[in-house]
C-alpha cells in the first residue's frame, strides 16, 4: 500500500503524499503497487525475488515526478536517494522524463543530483531529443537547456 501511495503521489505531483510514503518506508524504486497473484514470487516492489534486473517494466516514482514536472516531488525523492540512473524498459532515465516534461528546473535538479547527461535510450535518443517540440524549435528556449547540460545555468534563469 505504501508503494502505491508513493507512485500515486509522484504521478499527481503531491509532495505531502510522497514525503509521507517515504517516511513510512515506501521503496523509492518501486514500479508497480504490490500485486499478489497465485504462484507469484515477486516482492511487489518492481523487482523479482532473488535478483535485480537492470531495466524493469514500468516507471519509478522519480520518473513519474520528473515526467510530470513536479519539482517538489522530484526533490523529495532525490533527498530519499532515488536512483537517477534507473532505466525503464526502453532505456529512458529520469533525466529523459525531465526533458520530456519541458520543465527546466526539474531537468536541472536531476543534473545536480548526478544524472548522466550523455545516456541514450535504446533507440539512441539523447535527453534533449525528448524535449517537447515547441522547446526544440524555439531559438530562445533550447539554448537554456543546452547550457544546463554544460552546467552553465542556475535555477530560475
CATH number at residue 49: 1.25.40.20
Residue 142 lies in a domain: yes
Question: Residue 85 domain-assigned?
Answer: yes
Band the pLDDT of 46: cuts 50, 70, 90: very low
157 is a domain residue: no
Q: What is the pLDDT of residue 56?
A: 66
Structural domains in the chain (count): 1
pLDDT greater than 80 at residue 39: no
Residue 154 confidence (pLDDT): 53
Residue 132 domain-assigned (yes or no): yes
* 131-155: b (≥16 Cβ within 10 Å) or e: beeebeeeeeeeebbeebbeeebee
Evaluate whether residue 57 is within a structural domain: yes
Judge if pTM exceeds 0.85.
Answer: no
DSSP-derived 3-state class of residue 130 = helix
Structural domain containing residue 83: 2-33+42-149
pLDDT > 70? residue 43 = no
Measured distance CA(45)–CA(60) in Å, rounded: 10
The reply to whether 156 falls in a domain is: no
Q: Which residue has the cell 500485486?
A: 35
Amino acid at each position: 500500500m505504501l508503494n502505491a501511495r508513493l507512485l500515486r503521489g509522484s504521478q499527481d505531483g503531491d509532495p505531502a503524499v510522497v514525503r509521507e510514503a517515504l517516511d513510512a518506508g515506501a521503496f523509492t524504486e518501486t514500479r508497480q503497487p504490490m500485486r499478489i497473484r497465485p504462484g507469484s514470487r515477486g516482492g511487489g516492489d518492481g523487482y523479482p525475488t532473488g535478483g535485480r534486473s537492470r531495466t524493469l517494466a514500468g516507471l519509478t516514482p522519480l520518473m513519474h515526478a520528473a515526467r510530470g514536472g513536479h519539482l517538489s516531488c522530484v526533490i523529495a525523492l532525490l533527498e530519499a536517494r532515488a536512483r537517477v540512473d534507473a532505466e525503464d524498459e526502453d532505456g529512458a532515465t529520469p533525466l529523459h522524463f525531465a526533458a520530456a516534461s519541458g520543465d527546466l528546473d526539474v531537468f536541472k535538479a536531476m543534473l545536480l543530483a548526478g544524472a548522466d547527461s550523455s545516456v541514450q535510450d535504446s533507440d539512441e535518443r539523447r535527453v534533449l531529443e525528448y524535449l517537447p517540440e515547441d522547446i526544440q524549435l524555439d531559438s530562445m528556449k533550447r539554448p537554456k537547456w543546452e547550457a544546463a547540460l554544460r552546467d552553465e545555468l542556475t535555477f530560475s534563469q
